[in-house]
Amino acid sequence: MPQALAYLVANPHPDKPVFGMLTNGDDILFIKLTRSPTPEYNLSRVFALFTSAREVYEILQILKGIGQAMSTMGCAYAP
């Protein structure tokens, strides 16, 4: 998580929230970072990818929402 937060803090647009996803191949955790006025991050619950189809559906819904938010804000993907 520290490495992911370091990448998120390096966002060149500090006025906009930044999203990240951590995975170990089975579990998935989403991160949202805001930097104004001070850096603050929030974590989602842990999603277990191989537990149920419902978990996969929820993960895809979150990714879809993040993708829509990015396209609305005119953001580009940066690995």
pLDDT: which is higher, 29 or 66: 29
Does residue 78 surpass a pLDDT of 60?
no
Q: Is residue 68 part of a domain?
A: yes
Q: Is residue 78 part of a domain?
A: no
Quickly state the pLDDT bin for 75 (edges 50, 70, 90).
low
Contact indicator for 44, 29 with CB cutoff of 8 Å:
yes
Q: Is residue 79 part of a domain?
A: no
Structurally, the chain folds into a number of domains equal to 1
Contact indicator for 21, 28 with CB cutoff of 8 Å:
yes
Q: Is residue 30 part of a domain?
A: yes
Phi/psi for 71 (5° steps) reads: -70, -35
Q: Is residue 58 part of a domain?
A: yes
Q: Is residue 42 part of a domain?
A: yes
Q: Which domain holds residue 15?
A: 2-73
